[in-house]
Structure 1
């Protein structure tokens, strides 16, 4: 008779999910009454056809995060360079957000705050946008980029300094 021992390497670790993400699959189509995004074909997207009147209504997680003022990511821009090039950095930030949210409506900037030190803090509704913006700024303006992801909190902190 074979002695079967349980294998610890096969235990699945619990994956931490976004606490704002809907646990159940939404009825299709579902319209966010706040931003107009449409849940269709298993994901949130911007409507490309007229939304049926009978579409369900539910606020998307990005709009809930904005209402609760609970960002999923932040990008902090620091250094003397930031104050001297603030308008360029904000324009690049907005451009990256437009590119990202065009395909992913839940990836949005919540706020761009000017700090007393001359830096900028950008908060977002998701964990991907701060990284995308930070990498675009690093490519265009050089500097030092850092990342700190906190999976248990579903939050990313991105820092850029020059």
Structure 2
């Protein structure tokens, strides 16, 4: 029979070890954005003002001795090299396209407040199609989830290793908005 596990008070639990790595000369992949080859602690992007604290890019205020180096998101923007591409396709009216554009922008703005490396690069509206390019694959996936939760549809995903880009193709074959409105009106008519 095992002895009962002894619970330690919170102050008695050992603190996790912090491991500090020296700068390396090998390329690092950081959420789809290639770094400069090593992680510089206390780096600020001169373009957007994002601050790298040695672990992640944040919007916090940099220290006075921060290095000036372009962040991966700004580099992707300047090179026009997206890490995520979301293609939304199906029968959409211009009003529905504007609604979806607003939904995508709200989701991207929310993500940008927390994650400085996740930005929309470009949104192209075409009849029945919206093409969104992003600086991170995670943002493209988050935008897909926002649209799929609201409008349903089918998704195809493929990764282009040569371009280092996650491609997502979402298709809506029927008027889901009309279907949802009809369903809501039917449920409301049974209430009264």
Q: TM-score, normalised by structure 2?
A: 0.68
1:24 is aligned, of 18, 38, 51, to: 38
Residue 158 of structure 1: aligned partner: 168
Aligned equivalents of 1:53, 1:112: Cα separation in 2: 36
1:36 is aligned, of 49, 57, 60, to: 49
Residue 83 of structure 2: aligned partner: 72
Where do 5+ consecutive residues of structure 2 fail to align?
Answer: 1-27, 173-192
Q: TM-score, normalised by structure 1?
A: 0.79
Two-structure CA RMSD over aligned residues (Å):
1.9
Q: Figure out how many residues of one structure are paired with residues of the other and give that number.
A: 143
How far is the alpha carbon of 1:54 from its aligned partner?
Answer: 2.5
Aligned equivalents of 2:93, 2:144: Cα separation in 1: 13
Aligned equivalents of 1:153, 1:95: Cα separation in 2: 27
| Contact in 2 for aligned 1:20/1:65 (Cα 8 Å) | no
After superposition, the Cα gap between the structure-2 partners of 1:110 and 1:91, relative to the gap in structure 1 and judged at 3 Å, is: same
1:133 is aligned, of 122, 127, 143, to: 143
2:62 is aligned, of 46, 51, 55, to: 51
Where do 5+ consecutive residues of structure 1 fail to align?
Answer: 1-15
Aligned equivalents of 1:82, 1:109: Cα separation in 2: 23
* Bigger-Rg structure (1/2): 2
Higher relative contact order (CA 8 A, sep 6+): 1
* Cα offsets for 1:61-94 (capped at 9, x unmatched): 1000000111111011111126440111011111
1:93 is aligned, of 104, 116, 133, to: 104
Instruction: Answer yes or no: is 1:118 the counterpart of 2:128.
Output: yes
